[in-house]
């Protein structure tokens, strides 16, 4: 449970600081992302598009395991989000083992 609350906190910090972009259309306008999170209920096409953004930004991508992304964001119908802050993305990655599945990790060269 503690890891769950940490992830909630980190996502909350990202939202409050404006370092979180939600929605597939918004992701297209982001100049850079450090982490992309996809909902478990997202379609295969949405997951594929999120993976292509992860390749473009050279960032990791996570998918929720049990909870929907809406539950983390308190917004309805959100299937994709991007964290644009490097330290918040790193903190989420370190705390996300139980609640998220790593889909793909693109490392900087």
Q: Give the chain's domains with CATH numbers.
A: 2-104 (3.30.1330.30)
Confidence of residue 109 (pLDDT cuts 50, 70, 90): very low
Angle at CA 56, nearest 5°, toward 108 and 6? 70
Q: Per-residue pLDDT tens for 30-75?
A: 899 999 999 999 999 999 999 999 999 999 999 999 889 999 888 8
Compute the distance between CA of residue 95 and CA of residue 109 in angstroms, rounded to an integer. 24
pTM for the complete prediction? 0.88
């Amino acid at each position: 449970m503690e890891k769950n609350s940490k992830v909630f906190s980190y996502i909350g910090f990202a939202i409050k600081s404006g370092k979180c972009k939600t929605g597939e259309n918004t992701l297209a306008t982001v100049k850079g992302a450090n982490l992309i999170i996809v909902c478990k209920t997202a379609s295969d096409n949405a997951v594929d598009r999120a993976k292509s953004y992860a390749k473009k930004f050279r960032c990791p991508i996570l998918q929720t395991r049990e909870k929907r992304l809406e539950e983390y964001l308190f917004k309805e119908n959100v299937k994709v989000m991007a964290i644009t802050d490097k330290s918040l993305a790193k903190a989420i990655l370190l705390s996300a083992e139980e609640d998220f599945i790593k889909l793909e990790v693109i490392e900087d060269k």
